[in-house]
Amino acid sequence: MLAINTAFMTANLALKTPKGEVYLKDIDAKSKHSENVLKTIDELCTQAKTNIMEVGTIAVVVGPGSFTGLRIGTAIAKALGCVNENLKFVAVSSLELMAYIVAKNKLAKGDFVCAINALSGLYFVCRFDKDGKRLSDEKMVDTEVFNKISEDRFVLVGDLKGENLKEIEITCADLLEFSLDKERQKEFVSEQNLEPVYLRLSQAEDNLKKNNKKV
């Protein structure tokens, strides 16, 4: 299993070999994911004395999150799929991964909401029960709606500022555990369906939409 998270400033990589050995690596937020993720995967394989042909499954965080980061993660997974045609793919929701961490550590006493900063006063959110089961669709809300959420709100460390927000951190170990759980449940997707989940238009798409309305 190779697990990749490039959805945020800090990237998480995790490799579990057929022998059960685990190798974990964070890529610093100051590093360019496009230049360092593939190189770091190669380093992990070298350290583990294995290669991509011995990896059975690739799990990728598909979003929501950074537009560029999500494209990098899915593109790398698909490129590795071209090398190893027997690879299976697992699509990981960033919000469900956050909920897994909350539930595993029993941080919520009841229903809760995981939230990610979508910038410009917007937020990606999803509601879960205390065991991490999804209770709503992932969606994007504005500040007014976000501030009216009554359940505990869990955010990533340093991602959002505000009162009554509870911070959590995604670790490589969490990513691997959650990905392996989805693999055991055979929650595979095809390579064609391994696509980023944006939930919003990019700035360029938004500008184009606004310009078309003016015509």
DSSP 78-129: HHHHHH-TT-EEEEEEHHHHHHHHHHHTT--SS-EEEEEEEETTEEEEEEE-
For all residues of the chain together, what is the average pLDDT? 92
Asked if residue 112 lies in contact with residue 102, where contact means CB atoms within 8 angstroms, the answer is: yes
Taking CA 69 as the corner, what is the angle to CA 66 and CA 75, rounded to the nearest 5 degrees? Answer: 135
pLDDT digits (tens, 9 = 90+) for 67-97: 999 999 999 999 999 999 999 999 999 999 9
Q: What percent of the chain has pLDDT over 90?
A: 86
Nearest residue to 76 via CA among 163, 191, 190: 191
pLDDT exceeds cutoff 90 at 162: no
Average pLDDT over residues 177-182: 98
Gap between the Cα atoms of 71 and 205, Å rounded: 16
pLDDT for residue 203: 52
pLDDT exceeds cutoff 50 at 106: yes
Asked if residue 35 lies in contact with residue 17, where contact means CB atoms within 8 angstroms, the answer is: no
pLDDT digits (tens, 9 = 90+) for 124-155: 999 999 999 999 999 999 999 999 999 999 99
pLDDT exceeds cutoff 60 at 208: no
**Which domains, and CATH codes, for the chain?**
2-94+170-210 (3.30.420.40), 95-168 (3.30.420)
Gap between the Cα atoms of 72 and 99, Å rounded: 23
Instruction: Name which residue leads in pLDDT, 162 or 156.
Output: 156
Q: Which long-range contacts (CB under 8 A, 24 or more apart) does 48-51 make?
A: 48/15, 48/17, 48/21, 48/23, 50/15, 50/17, 50/18
